[in-house]
Amino acid sequence: MIAATVPGFTVGTNLFLLEMPDQPDNAASLTPYGGGQGVLKGERGLPIDELPRFQVRVRHRSPPIAEAWARSLYEALHVRLSPVGSTPYLYLEPLQPPYYLEKDASRRTVYVFNVEARRLAR
């Protein structure tokens, strides 16, 4: 979805899921972490939705480009009622704007932000 929405990103080339390799220098990753239990209940009172969260991490040799990439991803991830692959997502919503995190060990600028999703449970 992101690769299709934000020009310049290709999964496996400069956009990575789970872990970001040390190369290329200019890249982004989406890493899931604990989210919340859904609020929608089915007939037996069990949750029928989930609230997963993930962190978006962007790094680039150029600080202004790192910030611009993070902003582009942030804007692309304000999504309502959109399936991602075969999973029906009700929304994707950033929890805060991108912020500067650090210069990594290779002196690349790193920006991050976190996103919450709501998807129907499988």
pLDDT tens for each residue of 47-103: 778 889 999 999 999 999 999 999 999 999 887 766 666 777 788 899 999 999 999
- Measured in whole angstroms, the distance separating CA 25 from the mean position of its chain's CA atoms is 19
- Report which secondary-structure segment, H or E, holds 70: helix 63-76
Q: Write down the pTM of the prediction.
A: 0.86
Instruction: For the chain, list the domains and their CATH numbers.
Output: 2-120 (3.30.2000.10)
Whether 88 contacts 98, CB under 8 Å: no
